[in-house]
C-alpha cells in the first residue's frame, strides 16, 4: 500500500523554495510503488510529474496532479572492462553523492561535475554539465519505466538525443518515463579536463601542481561555492539561462563591437557565449526586484530572497532576456524547467 498525501506544500521539494501545493504527492523507492500510486482511483487521469531534487524546476502555480518523488537508491559496478568500468546509480541517488563514490573508487569521468545539485534520474533529462564536461561524455545507458504502461525500457546514448542541456526527455519523451537508474562508463586511467573556466587557477591557488581527480573535484567545489548561493539559504536553481550558441560570423561582429565579450569556440565552428557576462553587461548582476533578483556573485543565477512567487521570477527572466536581445542581438533562453 502506497501513501499519497493531499494538498501538500512543495516548498521543501524545490530549491527555489517556491511555496505552491501539489494536489497529491507520493514518494517511491521502487518503480512498482510509483505504478501502484498511479493506479489509485483518486489520481487516475490527472497530470503527473516525477521530481528528483527539484533543483532545475520553477513552479509558477499549484500543481493540480500527482507529484512522484524519486528515491530509488543504490550505486554499484555492473561490469569491469579493464581500463573502464560500468557504474549504475539509482534514479533517486543524489548526483554529488555519486561523484564522491566514484572518487572513492578512483574512477575518473565526472569529477568536473562535482556539486551539481539534483538527483541522478534528472541528470540525463538535462544532460547536465560543468567545466567542459557533460553527462553524455560518460553516459552508457539508462533504465526507465513508461508511466502509461509500466513497461521497462532501456535507452542507449544515441536514443537519448543529447544536446546542450537537452535530451529526448525534454522534448518528445517529456513526462513519459520514470528514469529508474543510469549507467556510466568511467575510467581507471585518468585524463583530467582542466582547460575550461578557472580550474587551473584554483588548483594553483590550492598549491597543487600535479592534481588528481579528487583535487579537481575539490577545486570545482571551491569555485561553485564562491559563485553560487546555497539554496538552503537563498532559493535558486543554479544557472537559470543556457549559454547561447551563435555562428562565427555573428561572433566576429560582436567581438569587434564588444572586445571583452566572453566566448568559447566550439568544434562545429560556432561560438558559445557566456550568458552570465551578457546579463552582467546589461546591468542585472546583483540587482534586486522585489523578492527576486540576479545574484551578486553570478548574474546567471536568479534568486528568491524569501517570498518571491514563480511568476515574479519568470517576469524578471523575461526582462533580462529582452535586455540582452536589445543590447547584443542575441537570444538567451531558460535552462530551468518552468511549470
pLDDT in tens, 98-141: 999 999 999 999 999 999 988 999 999 989 998 889 999 999 99
Told to judge if 111 belongs to the known catalytic residues of this protein, a careful annotator would answer no
Told to judge if 159 belongs to the known catalytic residues of this protein, a careful annotator would answer no
How far from 255 is each of 77, 94, 273, 278, CA to CA, in Å? 47, 40, 11, 12
Active-site pick, 114, 167, 239, 294: 239
Told to judge if 165 belongs to the known catalytic residues of this protein, a careful annotator would answer yes
- The string of pLDDT tens digits covering residues 204-222 is 888 988 999 999 999 999 9
Averaged pLDDT, 55-79: 93
Q: pLDDT band at residue 171, thresholds of 50, 70 and 90? A: confident
- The string of pLDDT tens digits covering residues 222-281 is 998 888 888 888 898 888 999 999 999 999 999 999 999 988 888 888 989 999 999 999
Instruction: Give residue 158's pLDDT.
Output: 93
Domains of the chain: 5-70 (3.30.43.10), 75-187 (3.30.465.10), 235-338 (3.90.78.10)
311 CB-contact burial (10 Å; exposed 0-12 / middle 13-18 / buried 19+): middle
Provide the whole-model pTM: 0.85
Decide if 102 contacts 146 (C-beta within 8 A). no
Active-site pick, 165, 167, 185, 202: 165
Instruction: Give residue 197's pLDDT.
Output: 66
Q: Name the percent of the chain in helix, strand, coil, to the closest 5.
A: 30, 30, 40
Amino acid at each position: 500500500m502506497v501513501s499519497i498525501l493531499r494538498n501538500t506544500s512543495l516548498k521543501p521539494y524545490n530549491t527555489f523554495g517556491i511555496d505552491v501545493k501539489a494536489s497529491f504527492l507520493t514518494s517511491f523507492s521502487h518503480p512498482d510503488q510509483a505504478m501502484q500510486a498511479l493506479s489509485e482511483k483518486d489520481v487516475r487521469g490527472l497530470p503527473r510529474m516525477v521530481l528528483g531534487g527539484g533543483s532545475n524546476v520553477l513552479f509558477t502555480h499549484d500543481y493540480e496532479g500527482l507529484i512522484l518523488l524519486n528515491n530509488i537508491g543504490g550505486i554499484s559496478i555492473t561490469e569491469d572492462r579493464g581500463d573502464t568500468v560500468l557504474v549504475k546509480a539509482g534514479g533517486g541517488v543524489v548526483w554529488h553523492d555519486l561523484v564522491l563514490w566514484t572518487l572513492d573508487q578512483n574512477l575518473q569521468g565526472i569529477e568536473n561535475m562535482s556539486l551539481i545539485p539534483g538527483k541522478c534520474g534528472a541528470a540525463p533529462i538535462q544532460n547536465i554539465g560543468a567545466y567542459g564536461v557533460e553527462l553524455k561524455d560518460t553516459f552508457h545507458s539508462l533504465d526507465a519505466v513508461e508511466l502509461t504502461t509500466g513497461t521497462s525500457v532501456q535507452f542507449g546514448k544515441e536514443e537519448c538525443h543529447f544536446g546542450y542541456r537537452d535530451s529526448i526527455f525534454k522534448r518528445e519523451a517529456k513526462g513519459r518515463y520514470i528514469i529508474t537508474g543510469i549507467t556510466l562508463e568511467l575510467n581507471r586511467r585518468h585524463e583530467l579536463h582542466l582547460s575550461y573556466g578557472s580550474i587551473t587557477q584554483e588548483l594553483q591557488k590550492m598549491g597543487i601542481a600535479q592534481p588528481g581527480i579528487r583535487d579537481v573535484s575539490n577545486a570545482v567545489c571551491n569555485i561553485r561555492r564562491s559563485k553560487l548561493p546555497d539554496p538552503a539559504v537563498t532559493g535558486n536553481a543554479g544557472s537559470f539561462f543556457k549559454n547561447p550558441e551563435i555562428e562565427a560570423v555573428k561572433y566576429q561582429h560582436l567581438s569587434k563591437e564588444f572586445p571583452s565579450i566572453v566566448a568559447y569556440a566550439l568544434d562545429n565552428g560556432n561560438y558559445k557565449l557566456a550568458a552570465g557576462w551578457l546579463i552582467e553587461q546589461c546591468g542585472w548582476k546583483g540587482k534586486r526586484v522585489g523578492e527576486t533578483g540576479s545574484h551578486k556573485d553570478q548574474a546567471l543565477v536568479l534568486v528568491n530572497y524569501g517570498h518571491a512567487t514563480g511568476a515574479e521570477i519568470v517576469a524578471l527572466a523575461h526582462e533580462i532576456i529582452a535586455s540582452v536581445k536589445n543590447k547584443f542581438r542575441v537570444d538567451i533562453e531558460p535552462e530551468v524547467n518552468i511549470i
